[in-house]
A and B are shown apart, each in its own frame.
Chain A
Amino acid sequence: MSLKLGVPSKGRLMEKTFDWFAKRGVTLSRTGSDREYAGRVDGIGGVELVLLSAGEVPRELAVGNIHLGVTGTDLVHEKLARWEQQVEEIAPLGFGHADLILAVPQFWIDVETLDDLDSVAAEFRSKYGHRLRIATKYHRLVREFLTDTGVADYQLVDSQGATEGTVKNETAEMIADITSTGETLRANHLKILSNGLILKSQATIWRSRVASYTAEEKDTLKQFIQMLSV
């Protein structure tokens, strides 16, 4: 059996991951047609490439279908409860930087901190009869953050894309989303709360603590990690 390495199957994240491994003497490549998610690994024996969506990597690691996987910190923390027990962080890869943040309309000049947010949430609820809506796809991370910091009277509404637009469309009052440069936020007239940073994320290589490893796979893993010099 060979060691299974899960890598995002498309886009910049895949390209940068391939580059990162290439610099360390491991060539990852896609094989077959463009539509076929098959790949090969050169430079080390006994490693099999599994191409899948970055969002599926955490779960595949957690059920042990793959031994190693590349995906963002945000996705691992969001999708895996007690992630430390299911996966081990091998190394941050130095790209795919993004912050999970809380953002409110720029014209809310009275809201800069979580304190402000909490008191506005109470006022909003008593005036409009429903809790202040925060659009996000990171339900668990946002909820835990707001519970820890003692913010109440909000509700999370699910948004799987174009989250920045939800405020203008009045399906939410504010958002919690990933941003790297903040440009999309500004374009949508949103600003980040000064202490509203929930998580700093970047592409990271993880090892599954759940997967079973044969003696052979353990050797391959050791050699692989050495090559990646991490």
Chain B
Amino acid sequence: MANRSDILSRAQRFRTSFEAAGAVLVEPPILQPSDALLDLYGEDIRARAYVTSDALRGEQMLRPDFTVPVVQMHMREGAEPARYTYAGEVFRRQEQDTERANEYVQVGYEVFDRVNPAASDAEVFALITLQLRDLPLRAICGDIGILKAAVQGLKTTDLRKAALMRHIWRPRRFKCLLDQFSGRIDVHPSRQALLSTEGCVTGTAPEIGKRSSVDIDARVEQLRADAQAPAIDEHEVAALEALLNVRETIPFAIEQLRDVAVDLPAILPALEQLDARANAMRARGIDVETLEFEASYGRTSMEYYDGFVFGFYARGRPDLPAIALGGRYDALTRQLGQGSEIPAVGGVLRPDLILQLEEETV
């Protein structure tokens, strides 16, 4: 097993090569105010991050990743364009699997640049690939931007689209909503009963709590209106499902996605972006012809990625987590930017796992 100083010196080497690529070193504090993280991830983050507190600063979390503090720092004081690197521990609470580390070193590279997103995607991917050469890894990429475009392009109400968008990262609920909106499953009896009423129906029970009868009446009205909207067309649903199932090398994936676009033309701009990225990757010497693409990749456990996503996994070692992963998080900069935003993409490496694989391969 690699010891701590081996891991740190390898991390240092990665960091140095990221600095050579033009990144500025940043060192966010280990303790992060928990508000921003809770706002972003919701209550789920409590299952993944260690929480502590003091009387002055309130609740703090041991940083579960670097991306959020780096984005906050950039949005506060960064000049554009910017490239950052960092190396240090992140902390992940483990409640299910004792084999998974609860503290490990990450080295990252993040690019904030408006000019050419496809080129920035390729830059990050190529730089990470370079660090991992000679290791028995399998790379997978995906593109949440295509899914978002597909949902936005559905011929249905804004309300339904918003509900689907909100759950892109929760596949189970997404499927459930899609089944409802396309009329594949019956309307729940309680909803039917509610819809059979007219006028104001808040009844005799006392009004308690912050959510008011105004809120309830408004939602009932909204549900009535929504019930009048036609179901999402079966063609569109089938196309969306075909899209979600695309698993191919990039050239074939692009072909299949073009077929999907016949029924979902709204994804065409996103496909052009995918094409442009593939070309930018080729220009950086990536073997795009054999690179795997999974349309659903990144839909679980990577909630802030909303465009290009990628991960590297050890071949024959499904027990290991990703050796490296990353993606584009434009929406995150908007969420943390208090009015401003900037396209951003980045990735992280796990030097501990890399050393472990090297030892095992020798």
Q: Interface on A for B, CB 8 Å cutoff?
A: 81-82, 105-110, 112-113, 115-116, 118-120, 122-124, 127-128, 131, 139-140, 143-144, 146-156, 167-168, 170, 172-174, 189, 194
Contacts and interface: CB of A to CB of B under 8 A. Distances in A.
Given A154-B43, A155-B43, A110 B220 contact: yes
Contacts of A143: 43-44, 46-47
Contacts, number: 106
A149 to B, nearest CB: 7
B211 interface: yes
Contacts of A120: 211, 219
B202 interface: yes
Contacts of A131: 42-43
B43 A107 contact: no
Contacts of B194: 109-110, 112
Q: Which size bracket describes the interface of B in this complex?
A: 35 or more
Given A110-B194, A122-B166, A105 B43 contact: no
B216 A109 contact: yes
B235 interface: no
Given A112-B190, A150-B174, 11 more contacts: A105-B211, A122-B163, A128-B210, A139-B46, A143-B43, A146-B43, A147-B44, A149-B173, A154-B42, A155-B43, A189-B206
Contacts of A170: 209-210
B207 A107 contact: yes
A148 to B, nearest CB: 8
B57 interface: no
B209 A173 contact: yes
Chain B facing A: main interface SS = helix
A82 B46 CA distance: 17
A109 B210 contact: no
A118 B39 CA distance: 16
Interface in B20-55: 38, 42-44, 46-47
B205 A105 contact: yes
Interface string B185-219: 00010110010000001110111111101011001
Contact of B203 (A81, A109, A127, A150): A109
Given A82-B95, A110-B216, A168-B208, A152 B167 contact: yes
